[in-house]
Amino acid sequence: MKLYLAGPEVFLDDAREIGRRKVELCTRFGFIGLYPLDGDPLLDAAAGAASHSIFAANLALMRSADALIANLTPFRGISADPGTAFEVGFAFALGKPVAAYSNLPGELKHRAHSTIGVAGDAEAVPTLLADGLHVEDFGHFDNLMLAEALAASRLPVIQAQAPAADPFRDLTLFEQALSVLAEARSAGRLGTTPSLSHPEPAGQAHGEETFHG
Amino acid sequence: MKLYLAGPEVFLDDAREIGRRKVELCTRFGFIGLYPLDGDPLLDAAAGAASHSIFAANLALMRSADALIANLTPFRGISADPGTAFEVGFAFALGKPVAAYSNLPGELKHRAHSTIGVAGDAEAVPTLLADGLHVEDFGHFDNLMLAEALAASRLPVIQAQAPAADPFRDLTLFEQALSVLAEARSAGRLGTTPSLSHPEPAGQAHGEETFHG
């Protein structure tokens, strides 16, 4: 069973080493890890061709994967890396179960409050921020589209209790996510696709209603 | 022809008014605009149910749409809203053409440089930032997965020449995106799905190779 390993750690200087460790952990749980190629230094030569190749390679890896594990640790701001968010949406649309972890605890709302600040009357409208836009108030770790896609996959985000010292290299929660996926596999719940997330492609099994209210 | 209108303007205090204006502009170009429900105040009562309903409604709207226009203006950071990025990935995976605009000019790399700062030796490794992670150096306006999905749809991002005064209410570039989509429709290029982006769902037309090198 193949897992696509999405996350901004591809931007680390030692991205290939982290990828190697992630794939090794996958093996330990009986999975095949597919690590995106963004960090491949060989591709840096011709920027245009590299960008195009990385994109095509990542799409192909996602299509070949049975599920996706996303590192949704906030990246350069209060929310997840937009490339990873794109990949969660892409994989989810194809009916792949999506698991995720975040090495930062807490709600999006609280991060938004402390980073951006609340607008004028915090008592009356606690969701209106100083930038003139609201923040979601659903108790989610990040944007609801991400949180609900995970819930629909019956794999809610695994979040740190305290901020990780090295949030893009710490694989403790990645390992927990693998363990959860291994349990789901044992229970026969991994092969099925969430009913809300498939265009019923021919030849692909799809499962029962997984979107619980 | 239906267009799903993705973007963080759903978080504006006057989100419904912006939505009304967007839908009205769609009508002027002969499109039906589908505006996500995130901003619906009626749904705020029960947070859990609302989050779930918004998600399900947005997925249903995206499935029913023929294409998507995303507002990818950087939102609370140097990159696009992750909810919008999720939706771009979702729609793209279903073979919907994705158009986008950004009311902020410039490259992701330059925003990253000025916001986060370059690490030690900027001459030797200009992509390594002060946070210990690299930034992409492909000349894209944002993460390559977003930029390449637009390129594969043959609808590259429409970017502002100068920062918009009111970036989440300014619809000048949204109107330009509509105009580009209307041209693509006239040329018969909108009904086709990019060849890299479809799981070949039964009963859905798919087109020629659109991913150009």
Q: What is the tens place of the pLDDT at every residue in A63-112?
A: 999 999 999 999 999 999 999 999 999 999 999 999 999 999 999 999 99
Tens-place pLDDT, residues A7-46: 999 999 899 999 999 999 999 999 999 999 644 544 455 5
Task: Answer yes or no: is B33 within a domain.
Answer: yes
Q: Which of B38, B82, B134 sits opposite A79 (nearest CB)?
A: B82
Continuous H helices in A70-158 = 82-93, 108-116, 144-152
Token pair listed for A100: 């995720």
Q: Which of A87, A134, A144 sits opposite B83 (nearest CB)?
A: A144
Name the DSSP class of B101. E
Instruction: Identify the CATH number of the domain in which residue B70 sits.
Output: 3.40.50.450
Tens-place pLDDT, residues B120-129: 777 777 889 9
ipTM score above 0.95: no
Sequence-distant (6+) residues with CB within 8 A of A75 are A8, A81, A84
Q: Which of A51, A77, A136 sits opposite B148 (nearest CB)?
A: A51
A124 touches chain B (CB under 8 A): no
Pairwise pLDDT comparison (A141 vs B16), residue with the higher score: A141
A86 touches chain B (CB under 8 A): yes
Are residue A10 and residue A81 in the same domain, yes or no? Answer: yes
Task: Answer yes or no: is B115 within a domain.
Answer: no
A148 with B52: Cβ contact below 8 A = yes
Which residue of chain B has the CA closest to A212? B52
Task: Answer yes or no: is A184 within a domain.
Answer: yes
Give every strand in the sheet of B2-6, ordered side by side.
B32-34, B2-6, B67-71, B98-102, B158-159
A149 with B88: Cβ contact below 8 A = no
Q: Which residues of B touch A79 (CB under 8 A)?
A: 76-77, 81-82
The identity of residue B198, as a single letter, is: H
Q: How many residues does chain A have?
A: 213
pLDDT at position A120, please? 77
Cα of A71 vs its chain's centroid, Å: 5
Return residues 16-35 of B near A (CB < 8 Å).
none
Are residue A23 and residue A12 in the same domain, yes or no? Answer: yes
Distance from CA of B212 to the nearest CA of A (A): 9
Task: Answer yes or no: is B150 within a domain.
Answer: yes
- Beta strand extents in A7-157 (DSSP E only): 32-34, 67-71, 98-102
Helices B47-64 and B82-93 sit at what angle, rounded to 10 degrees? 40
Name the DSSP class of A9. G
B118 touches chain A (CB under 8 A): no
Handedness of CA A108, A111, A112, A117 (dihedral sign): positive
A78 touches chain B (CB under 8 A): yes
- Across B57-71, B124-138, B157-171, least confident range: B124-138
The Cα diameter of chain B in Å comes to 55
Average pLDDT of the residues of chain B? 85
Are residue A91 and residue A114 in the same domain, yes or no? Answer: no
Q: Is the pLDDT of residue A208 over 80?
A: no
- Across A71-85, A162-176, B36-50, B174-188, least confident range: B36-50
Are residue A57 and residue A136 in the same domain, yes or no? Answer: no
Are residue A23 and residue A100 in the same domain, yes or no? Answer: yes
A79 with B78: Cβ contact below 8 A = no
Task: Answer yes or no: is B209 within a domain.
Answer: no
Sequence-distant (6+) residues with CB within 8 A of B33 are B2, B3, B5, B22, B23, B24, B25, B26, B27
Handedness of CA B23, B156, B80, B167 (dihedral sign): negative
Which residue from B212, B27, B187, B6 is spatially nearest to B96, judged by alpha carbons? B6
Q: What three-state secondary structure class fits A2?
A: strand
Q: What three-state secondary structure class fits B190?
A: coil
B12 touches chain A (CB under 8 A): yes
First-to-last alpha carbon distance for chain B, in angstroms, is 29
Q: Which of B49, B138, B168 sits opposite A47 (nearest CB)?
A: B138
A156 touches chain B (CB under 8 A): no
Distance from CA of B159 to the nearest CA of A (A): 18
- Give the pLDDT band of residue A212 (cuts 50, 70, 90): very low
Are residue A92 and residue A125 in the same domain, yes or no? Answer: no
Q: How many CB atoms lie within 10 A of CB A135?
A: 23
Are residue A99 and residue A113 in the same domain, yes or no? Answer: no
Token pair listed for B78: 């140097």
Are residue A61 and residue A23 in the same domain, yes or no? Answer: yes
Task: Answer yes or no: is B145 within a domain.
Answer: yes
Q: Residue A89: how many CA atoms within 13 Å on its side-chain side?
A: 33
Domain that holds residue A127: 108-140
Task: Answer yes or no: is A203 within a domain.
Answer: no
How many domains in chain B?
A: 1
Task: Answer yes or no: is A147 within a domain.
Answer: no
Which residue from B100, B138, B195 is spatially nearest to A59, judged by alpha carbons? B195
Are residue A41 and residue A135 in the same domain, yes or no? Answer: no
